[in-house]
Structure 1
């Protein structure tokens, strides 16, 4: 009975990585799916924490804190944010500067599914998708059958952490409303590391036969101290200390969107429109002098798409295409203020042909016109670039598939990069992308193996030795990313489930002054092992082991950050209405860091320490 239910559940899994609902077994690229149940059982409190714990994706502590991390899907180091696209309910959330995308502000209890697309998503998602795409679908965005529900979550733990989350879904016929709110306070694990976050969202949905319309509004705020970086000696003596007791940051994000989906016979139509605003206010101390960095971001986007699917003579063909339009503005205040603008206009087309034997062929093309301006740069950065992709999925047996794809992806320098160079305009970054993979699916088990290579020309990055030693953003000499990824889950018994990932990646220069050197801040190896054990009726024990290998913080590879293995534990008592849990993060109390920017005397410096052991007790009520 349990196996039959699990098999049925697997058959119902769909992803939206193709910008329409699709069976992941028919896609010519690797995709990992994290469900709401996975998130809940892991105890993850943010989207990036769920991706790091459950998929073993390396992350680096964000400088603004508040539970934010920068994810690195395929070894892009300090520019991982600029080489990965974040999509929430069909709308792109990625920024046009180096400020990063704030995922910790998305209420975790509103998330229905996280899809991580490995490798280039340039045809469907455009500029900056060489490393991959993270697609977040909220409960209001899934389009499934709705019912009245409500939940309240309260937690308290180490570092004076207190958290309260609540949400509800109200259904009346074809109409439903989702509301959610959250509040989290913490003193942090460092001096001046306190943070306060709060947020809320509301989504109204109307769904009838073939038509669904969703209106959303969301807002999140972060108030945090900025403890800053430590030298090696400071970190060794006391990683909790700070030299910046008065530095702080305030961030406000607001998002509004409209989504419409319509099915009409063999046709599917989609429309997405969104507007968001980001406000940052901060005070930081440099060389004994305090200075503010205040800016405002406003972004608008509209996308329309359509897909026609039909079967003729045993051949099933699916033709999809669309238009993406977006505009991004940033205004920096103060004496050295600036204005930056970015406009993207793109059209794309993708065709999938499935033969009688199950072989699936795909081809896609995207043409994107991009214009970027900055008040500190006379000439605009302007170009029209193309991405393309060819894919093949071949069934090998009832449970086995092999796939492969070849393509090209691109990005232009962002506002922070092209406004600070050595005087030479930055050329477009181009990548030739190759991926081969195999999938295996059984009743309650699955496994994926992926091999990939990205050959980059004119990669955009920062070189501290450029511009006469003052540093500048440059086009690197040729670089290459290649690696192997393994991911699987296995039900060892009906009560014990295992989930494991492992990755080996190589990010190296293949020419020029740094030939043979590793790209900074890239882990050569990473792995995770998770277990969920139904020890007794209603009692669930969870454990997650995460490993990240050493990495170099500098281009010359003159020092290495230590490797680290962390262990998280969680016990939950699951009753019909209430769940009580105790979670222990970094249970072995490892002293480590994921963020460092330089080397001094052969040792890493400019270090941002991670927290030691933490304990959290929580209660969740479900109605």
Structure 2
């Protein structure tokens, strides 16, 4: 504990040192280039964005120890990333930007070239569908942004922007390492005149370090861009992916107890297959000197199948289990997002747009012959489960920016989103149910931004954002029989946030920092006492401070520090003052890269994740998931078109977990016991990477 506290103190002191240097040294405007962001749905300088924004560049991704997008977001973005079976390929990762814990998947909005990737259920984003080599940059916008993006943008927005520049560098990368892990990636860039074609393919597989944790994935991405006059362009993008990941399940007990390598008894042989495909068309047109049009249309499909053979076995029959051994999901969605920007010169700018989205998902659960005998014994009304849900959203919005002077701007906006939801459920133990409901939610923000120098700004902001329930939150579980039940369509939750912060570029340092407080009404949460999802009647308050800094200490040494101190607590009711589960109070991140000469380089990253309550501990009376400090290091060698990199991940071999819970756990004899459980993170691992660019 003393070591962890020492690391915590060292990181905090280093961060304060960077901030002190940033205020004492003269400005060097040439030290760091201008950054473009899409916080208003149009590219602009970060100087004009009243928000805490971070951009991860392609160069930073390539010069890191990250193997996948979730690791990039954790190690380079400083975000809280967890999951129940991440493994070496980062599958099923959840990103929590707002301190929402178990509902992080629905409160952090993930975009690909401005188009939402979040499924309409509780599933994680299929990160594997985006080849790492296809990424130009990742923009991280912290805080509520429902005015700009609508549903789900309450904790923050991550916009993954793919490559469409004219560069024609091609490369092939092969990475091999621990647990039989092999990853390959190939980039092909073609072009003729104003036409640019980017193709990327990725394949990876691993044996896993736990029993029943092998995984493989394949993905392909392509983007064809026709550059017209000036900024005008039209582009067509496609990507597709397939993943097959075994699911070892949780480990019974508190973190550090039990054998983390063993799979849970009813997870042996289980696996989850996911197929994704997506196509999108985008257009950028300068209509006049004052007006610019942008718009995208996207259509995507997703199919998944979770197979759990235990529930087809004699052991399950003897224990009285009657659960499905096959669960299949089929979903589709399409979006239309036109918008226009008017530049009024000294009178500021106006952005007006309209987002249209329609999504559908159907589910089918199949029971084995033995399980059906149990269903008959317990009086089931049918021998399978099925469900279907459709969401239809319409959402106009407007964003205004008005300069009061050459350095002071007032900005604000508003959005109204209406969502019509329909649902059907027919399961083994309940009568068929049809439901429909239409809800509306409003978003608004108002900010003052003081950009007194290039790369220097201070802002004050008020924001209201919202999220509608995902379709899984229409259902729950009977706390006595543990059978699935339909709870109804919940109303949207609404968060109001007050934030002040800034950005400073001085003494070869870029520092961003902000203070925030957010109050959420009608928050959608799972109640372990009733087994149902519900709109919480109490206000939940989140407040804290976050910062991020990057310093060019010397021409060869770059150091980055970032962190977040936050509290996520009930502000009333029976749980007044209690902390939300699965939300650490503190996270810190430190990175360094050092170039020895024209060939050799070194680097490393260290991440600290504070302790947090296990999922299900609403009373805060149980033990906590302990804090953890994890470090990666790497060395690289470049010669001509070749680059070799050796990486050690979790160099100290820490035995830790970032996800766990407390509740009823099934036992082999068919009984349920109240217990802790957790999902262990990867131990120490070694990787060798070879890259050839031509």
Into which bin does the TM-score normalised by the smaller protein fall?
Answer: over 0.9
- State the distance in 1 between where 2:487 and 2:221 align: 44
Instruction: Tell me the alpha carbon deviations over residues 549-585 of structure 1, each in whole angstroms, 9 at most, x when there is no partner.
Output: 0100121222210100000001111223111000010
Question: Which residue, out of 274, 295, 298, partners 1:251?
Answer: 274
1:238 shift after superposition:
1.8
- State the distance in 1 between where 2:657 and 2:441 align: 38
Unaligned runs of 5+ in 2: 1-27, 366-383, 426-432, 477-484, 666-672
- State the distance in 2 between where 1:436 and 1:234 align: 37
> Does the residue aligned with 1:236 lie in a helix, a strand or coil?
coil
> Does the residue aligned with 2:613 lie in a helix, a strand or coil?
coil
Question: Which residue, out of 156, 163, 177, partners 1:132?
Answer: 156
TM-score of the two chains, using structure 1 as the length reference: 0.94
Question: Which residue, out of 606, 614, 618, partners 1:555?
Answer: 618
Runs of 4+ in 1 over 6 A off after TM superposition: 600-604
> Does the residue aligned with 1:180 lie in a helix, a strand or coil?
strand
Matches within 5 A, 1:140-151: 140=164, 144=165, 146-151=166-171
8 Å Cα contact 1:324-1:345 kept in structure 2 = yes
Q: CA RMSD in A?
A: 2.1
Matches within 5 A, 1:565-604: 565-598=629-662
Q: Is 102-111 or 127-136 further displaced after alignment?
A: 102-111
8 Å Cα contact 2:271-2:306 kept in structure 1 = yes
Aligned to 2:364: 333
- State the distance in 2 between where 1:603 and 1:108 align: 41
Question: Which residue, out of 253, 270, 281, partners 2:294?
Answer: 270
Pair 1:398–1:127, CA change in 2 (3 A): closer
- State the distance in 2 between where 1:64 and 1:502 align: 23
1:417 shift after superposition:
0.8
Q: Is 356-365 or 250-259 further displaced after alignment?
A: 356-365
1:64 shift after superposition:
7.0
Aligned to 2:490: 426
Aligned to 2:400: 351
| 1:238 matches 2:279 | no
1:307 shift after superposition:
0.3
8 Å Cα contact 2:415-2:444 kept in structure 1 = yes
TM-score of the two chains, using structure 2 as the length reference: 0.84
1:138 shift after superposition:
0.5
Number of corresponding residues: 608
Question: Which residue, out of 250, 255, 265, partners 1:229?
Answer: 250
8 Å Cα contact 1:561-1:604 kept in structure 2 = no
8 Å Cα contact 2:475-2:532 kept in structure 1 = no
1:74 shift after superposition:
1.7
8 Å Cα contact 2:416-2:441 kept in structure 1 = yes
Higher percent of residues as helix: 2
Pair 1:292–1:36, CA change in 2 (3 A): same
> Does the residue aligned with 1:487 lie in a helix, a strand or coil?
strand
> Does the residue aligned with 1:42 lie in a helix, a strand or coil?
coil
8 Å Cα contact 2:468-2:493 kept in structure 1 = yes
Instruction: Tell me the alpha carbon deviations over residues 525-547 of structure 1, each in whole angstroms, 9 at most, x when there is no partner.
Output: 00000000012332110110000
Aligned to 1:39: 61
Aligned to 1:488: 549
1:235 shift after superposition:
5.5
8 Å Cα contact 1:524-1:551 kept in structure 2 = yes
Question: Which residue, out of 406, 409, 434, partners 1:378?
Answer: 434
Aligned to 1:319: 350
Aligned to 1:3: none
Aligned to 1:622: 693
Aligned to 1:106: 130
Matches within 5 A, 1:441-452: 441-442=505-506, 444-452=508-516
1:13 shift after superposition:
1.9
Aligned to 2:17: none
1:110 shift after superposition:
0.6
Larger Rg: 2
> Does the residue aligned with 2:37 lie in a helix, a strand or coil?
coil
Instruction: Tell me the alpha carbon deviations over residues 70-103 of structure 1, each in whole angstroms, 9 at most, x when there is no partner.
Output: 0111201010111111110121111211112122
8 Å Cα contact 1:73-1:131 kept in structure 2 = yes
Question: Which residue, out of 513, 522, 527, partners 1:463?
Answer: 527
- State the distance in 2 between where 1:45 and 1:88 align: 19
